[in-house]
């Protein structure tokens, strides 16, 4: 079974700084997808960024980028120029190709300090 590990339960950073959230996963599959979801205090789950394992290029979405290291099974999220609205729980998630099931990590609570 796949597992997703987020080793940082909580993090905080000053506004405008850069922060990196770590995620590692375990799988024997070669084709899969990785996601970062954000859950603000409103509780709504919002997709931040996604990565296909067969793509070597790291995904980017504006201030959000990932460092995908397939051999190391690592998928970290970098938030640049952090903003107060980035305060949220962040979940890393994994899905096999052709499999409907998402496996989530336990989350990292990120606080942006004014």
Residues 17-76 that bind other proteins (CB under 8 A): 33, 35, 43-45, 47, 50, 52
Exactly one of 79, 82, 87, 105 binds other proteins (CB under 8 A); that residue is 105
Q: Where are the beta strands (DSSP E) in the chain?
A: 3-5, 10-14, 19-21, 24-26, 32-39, 46-52, 60-61, 64-69, 74-79, 88-96, 103-104, 108-113
Nearest distance from residue 17's CB to other proteins, in Å?
26
Residue 28 is classified by DSSP as S
The residues that touch other proteins, with contacts defined as CB under 8 A, are 4, 33, 35, 43-45, 47, 50, 52, 91, 97-107
């Amino acid at each position: 079974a796949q597992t997703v590990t987020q080793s940082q339960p909580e993090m905080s950073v000053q506004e405008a700084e850069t922060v990196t959230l770590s995620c590692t996963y375990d799988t024997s599959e070669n084709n899969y997808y990785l996601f970062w979801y954000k859950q603000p205090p409103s509780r709504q789950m919002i997709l931040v960024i996604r990565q296909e394992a067969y793509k070597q290029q790291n995904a980017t979405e504006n201030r959000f980028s990932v460092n995908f290291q397939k051999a190391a099974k690592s998928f970290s999220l970098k938030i640049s120029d952090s903003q107060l609205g980035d305060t949220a729980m962040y979940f890393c998630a994994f899905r096999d190709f052709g499999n409907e099931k998402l496996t989530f990590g336990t989350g990292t609570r990120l606080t942006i300090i004014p």
